[in-house]
Amino acid sequence: MPRLKRIKHERLYLPDIGMASNFPNLADVLTHPIHLELIEQQYDEMVKATVGMRYGYATAEAILRRYNSDNSTHPTYKALVELGKAEKTIFLCNYLPYLEPKQEVQSGLNVIENWNGTNDFIFYGRRGRFETNNPQDMEISMLSLHLLQNCLILINTLLLERTIEERNMLEKLNPEDTRALTPLFYGHVNPYGLFELDLDKASFLEVA
């Protein structure tokens, strides 16, 4: 579920023409109706694309390449846009009045942002970007990142287990405490190595 940063600017789409008068208190946030006939006309094509992705007959990249804004005149693209309006309106109607969806979105995104922040920290070379089109080089970089991820998670998990055991904290942790435990921390890691300087020793740069 998305976190809509500009939620005050979002609009609710009506399911049919002439329904705006039924919701006078929502007049400022209502916009034009959804063209349901487009969804009905292209329903079979949308189902084909969905089934193709579900069972691996087509990749999401291929589907998105076919139905994107560069091909906005395609009838299936238009139907997908209308379907998106309906889904977005349903989501907003469930999201705005209730606290639970907000908490679920926030907690889920916190995990993702923490993970992305960890990746940025350990994959710092070249600003974490793939600056090559060579598939082999990209694969090596990705495998290296996965190795660093697994090493960090393993070490942090062992550190957490040891700390909990040494301080007899297992019985003191409640369910909320255990939910907050995560191996995605890196404040104790120095990614650049350790450089020791001995100021009492002559520098090798000095002329003998």
Poorest-pLDDT segment among 86-100, 129-143, 145-159: 129-143
CA dihedral 140, 66, 42, 48 (to 10 degrees): -40
- State how far the Cα of 4 lies from the Cα of 15, in Å rounded to an integer: 22
Buried (b) or exposed (e) across 2-29, using 16+ Cβ within 10 A?
eeeeeeeeeebbbeeeeeeeeeeeeeee
Contacts of 12 (CB under 8 A, 6+ apart): 26, 29, 30, 31, 89, 92, 93
Residue 205: its pLDDT value, please? Answer: 66
Of 43-57, 86-100, 161-175, 187-201, least confident by mean pLDDT is 187-201
Identify whether the C-beta of residue 28 lies closer than 8 Å to the C-beta of residue 48: no
How many C-beta neighbours within 10 Å does residue 155 have?
Answer: 13
Distance, C-alpha 31 to centroid of its chain:
29
Mean pLDDT for the stretch of residues 33-48: 94
Does the pLDDT of residue 81 top 90, yes or no? yes
The predicted structure's pLDDT at residue 207: 54
Q: Which has more confidence, 29 or 3? A: 29
> What digits encode the pLDDT tens for the residues 91-102?
998 888 888 888
pLDDT exceeds cutoff 90 at 1: no
Average pLDDT over residues 34-56: 93
Cβ–Cβ under 8 Å, residues 6 and 29: no
Chain position carrying tokens 């034009």: 32
**pTM as predicted:** 0.59
Closest CA to 85 of 23, 38, 145: 38
